Amino acid sequence: MLHGGMIPCRNLRCPALVAFFTRSVPQLMPLKPSQKRYLRGLAHSLKPVIMVGNKGVSEALLAEFSIALDDHELIKVKLAGDDRAERAAQISKLGEAGHAELVQSIGKVACFYRPNADKPKLALPK
C-alpha cells in the first residue's frame, strides 16, 4: 500500500514506488548480544505482521516489509514452506532488501529490527 496507505500500487514504474525504494536508508551497526536479547524479549508477544506465501518474496512484499519496519521498527515475519534452505534464503533476502537486522529466527518465524530514522520508538540498551 502506497500513496498514503489508501491506494494499492501495482505499477512498478510508479513515482511513489520508485522514490520509496531509492530513498537513502542509514547504515545499521550490528546489534550487540544484549540488544538482541532485549529485542527478543519485546518480540515475544508480537504477532506476525508480514506473511510470506508460497510464491516467496516479491517486490510488493518487500515494499510492505519496508513500510511495516518504518511503522513498527520491530516486526515478526511468518514464512511458508517446509524447506529450511529456502526459508533461510527468504530471510536473508528480506534482511538485505529491507536494510534490517535479523533478531531471531525460530522455525517458520523470523524477527527483524530497523530503527526509524525520523522518529525512533525503541530505545536499545547499550
pTM of the model: 0.78
Q: List the beta bridge partners of residue 50.
A: 77
CATH topology assigned to domain 30-113: Translation Initiation Factor IF3 (3.30.110)
Q: What is the pLDDT of residue 68?
A: 95
Q: What is the pLDDT of residue 98?
A: 92
Q: What is the pLDDT of residue 119?
A: 87
How far is it, in rounded angstroms, from Cα 5 to Cα 8?
Answer: 7
Contact 80, 52 (CB under 8 A): yes
Residue stretches of the chain with pLDDT short of 50? 1, 6
Q: Which of 37-59 are b and which e, b meaning 16 or more Cβ less than 10 Å from the residue's Cβ?
A: ebbeeebeeeeebbebeeeebee
